[in-house]
Amino acid sequence: MLPTENPEAPILSLLSLLIGAVAAPVLGRWPRRSALAGFGLAVLGSLAGLCAAALVLLTGQTIAFSLPLTLPGASFAILVDPLAAFFLAPLFLISLLGAIYGSGYLAKADGPATGRHCFFYNLLVLSMALVVCAANAILFLFAWECMSLTSFFLVISDHQEAPVRRAGFTYILATHLGAAALFALFLLAGAKTGSLDFAAFNGLHDLPPLFAGILFLLALGGFGSKAGLFPFHVWLPEAHPAAPSHVSALMSAVMVKTAIYALLRILSFLPPAPAWWGGLMLVLGVAGGLFGIGMAATQKDLKRSLAYSTVENVGLIFMALGFWLYAQATHHYFTAALALAGALLHIWNHCLFKSLLFMGAGSLLHGAGTRDLNEMGGLLRRMPRTGLLLIAGAMAVTALPPFNGLVGEWFIYRGLLEGGIKFQGLAAALPIVLVGLMAMIGAMVLVVMVRIVGIGLSGEPRHQGAAAAHEANGRMVGSMAVIALLCLAGGLMPALLINPVVAVAGTISPGASDLLQNSGCLPYWIGGMGIGVVLLILLIFVGSRLLASRQKAAAPTWGCGFLFPTARMSYSAEGFSELAHRSFYCDCLRPRVSGGQPVALLPGRVVFAHDAGDFFLQAVYLPLFRTAGGFCSRMRGLQSGLLQIYLFYIFGAMTLLLGWLALD
C-alpha cells in the first residue's frame, strides 16, 4: 500500500461520477429525474475533485493511495501531486460548468437521450480524472481507452447524420493509432524497469540516449495525436463541430490537456532532454500554430473555426514547451523557466477562454439554429447576453486586457526575448524568428476573432433563423458568465494565475520556481493595466448613458448607389479573411475556389463553390484510412465461422506463448 493522505475527496469525486453515470440511464423514463441524477452528480463529483485539487495546489501535499488488483502488473494506484492537481483543477471546473450548461442545452431532450448523454458525460469526466491521477501504466491505459470511447459516443450523439458518423469514424481511428504508440511506450518502459508502476519508472533516468529517444518519440506521437498537435490534428476539426457544444468545450479545453499532462509526466521519468527533443517539439508547435490559425480563418462553420483555433493554441503550448527543453539543454535555465511558466499559464488560460467560446457557439446554435457564419448576423441585438460573453472570450483569446490571455503570452514572449539576448552565435537568431512567427500567429488570431464577432454578431440577419433568434436559457448563460468572470479575474489579478504556476513549474523543473521568484520580472503590473481598461470602458459607458437622453434620428446608411441594399451585400466569412490568406499562406493551404465568372450582357447561371478542407486530411490521412480499411476488409476472411478454425487459432496462440516462456 502507498501512504494514504486525505483520499476522501478524490474517492467521493470518482464515486459520484460513477453513480451518476449509472443512475441517469436507469431513470431514463423520467427526463427530469434522469437529468437531475446525471448532471447533479456530475456537479457534485466535479466539486469534490476541484476541492481536492485546490488543497494540493495550496498546501503542496500529495494525495496517494493504492489498491491491489488481480490483473498481473496492475494496481489501482492514485497519485495527486502538484503537477496532477494543476491539470485536475481546470478539468473539474469545466466539467462542473459543462454539466450545468448541458442541463440547459438538453432541456428539451427526451429521457432516454438525456440518460445516455449523462452516462457517457460522467464516464468521460471520470476517465479523464483517472488519466491524470493514475500511477500505474495499466490503469492509465484503461482510463485512456475509456476516455477515447466515451468521447467517441458523445461525438456521435446525432448519429443519424452522415457527417457526424464520418467525424466519429475519423476520431476513433486517429485516437487508436495514437494509442498503439502508447502501448509500445509502456511495454518498453515496463520491460526496462521490471514494473508497470510509475514509481518504478524513475529508474528510466539512466537510459542510453537512443532508447530514451525512442521512448520520447513514442510519447510525442501517442500523446500528440490526442492533444491535436500538428500533423496529428486531423480528428479535432471533425469531432468538435459534431459533438454537443458543452462536450466540445470539455474536449477542447480539457481532454487535449490530459495528453499534455501525460507527456510532461513521461518527460519527468526520462533522462535530461537533449536539444533535439525541444527542437522537434518547437518545430511542430510553430507549424501547428501557423496552420491551425490559417485554417480557422477560412472556415464558415463557427465550431470548426474554433476547433482549428485549438490546433493553434496547442501549437503555442508545444512551442513554449519545446523552447523550454531546448533552453534547458543549452544551460539557459532562466530562459527555460520563463518558457515553461508561459506554457503552463497558457494551458490554464486556454481552458477558460476556449470553453467560453465553444459554449457561446453552442448558444448561438441553440438560438439561431445554425453554425454557419454566413447565415448569422445581427445576433448581438437578439442575443445580447450571449453576444457580450462571446466578445469577452474573443478578447481573452486575442490576449487583450483586461482578460487573462495576455499573462501567459507575456511569459512566452519574455522567454523568447531573453533567449535572443543570452543565446550565442546562430542560435541567437532562433528566438527572434520565433517572436516574429508568434506575432504573425497573434495577428491572424485577431483576424479570426474579428471575423467571428463582425460576421456573426454585427450587421443584419442573413437568414430567417438569425432573424428569429432567441436568447439562451439561464443555465447556459450562467455557466458562460462564470467562465467570463474567471477570465476577467485572471487579467485583473494575475497573481491568482502566476503564483500557483510558478510553484508547479518548480516541481517540473527543479530550480525554476526560485529563478522566477528572484528575477523581479513577474508581470503583476498587467493587473493594473487591466484595471485601467475597465475604468475606461466604464467611463465610455457612463458617457453614452448621459448622451442617450438626447433626441435620436434614425436613417438608412448610404447604400453606395444601390436602391435596395440587402445583407447579402455585406462581407462573407470567406471574403473577410481572403486577403490574409493570399498574403501569408502557400497555395496548398488556401481554400479551393471553383466556378465561372459572369460573362456577356445577359449572363446565364454561374455556380460558385468554396472548399476550405484540410489539405493534410485529404492528401495524407484519408488515403491512409482507406488503405487500413481495405486491409481490415481482407482480414475478415479469418472469421470463417467454423469452430475448428477458431480452435486452431487458440492452439497456435498457446504454442507461441509456451515457446516464449521456454525461451525466457
Which residues lie across from 64 on neighbouring strands? 79
Angle at CA 599, nearest 5°, toward 573 and 564? Answer: 55
Nearest CA to 149 out of 177, 180, 175, 131 is that of 175
Residue 520 CB contacts under 8 Å (≥ 6 apart), including other chains: none
Q: What is the pLDDT of residue 611?
A: 62
The 10 Å CB-count burial string (b at 16+, else e) for 328-359 is bbbebebbbbbbbbbbbbbbbbbbbbbbbbbb
Q: What is the pLDDT of residue 325?
A: 93
For residue 310, how many other CB atoms are within 10 A of its CB?
A: 26
Q: What is the pLDDT of residue 588?
A: 59
Q: What is the pLDDT of residue 609?
A: 63
Q: Per residue in 466-484, pLDDT tens?
A: 788 888 888 999 999 999 9
Q: What is the pLDDT of residue 107?
A: 80
Residue 176 CB contacts under 8 Å (≥ 6 apart), including other chains: 148
Q: Per residue in 423-444, pLDDT tens?
A: 888 888 888 999 999 999 998 8
Query: With contact defined as beta carbons under 8 Å apart, do 512 and 425 qualify?
Result: no
Spatial separation of the C-alpha atoms in residues 233 and 225, rounded to whole Å: 6
Which residues lie across from 78 on neighbouring strands? 65, 134
Q: What is the pLDDT of residue 3?
A: 45
Q: How far is CA 440 from the centre of its chain?
A: 21
Q: What is the pLDDT of residue 580?
A: 66
Q: What is the pLDDT of residue 177?
A: 83
Spans of the chain, pLDDT less than 50: 1-4
First-to-final CA distance of the chain: 30
Helices (H) and strands (E) in the chain, counts: 27, 4
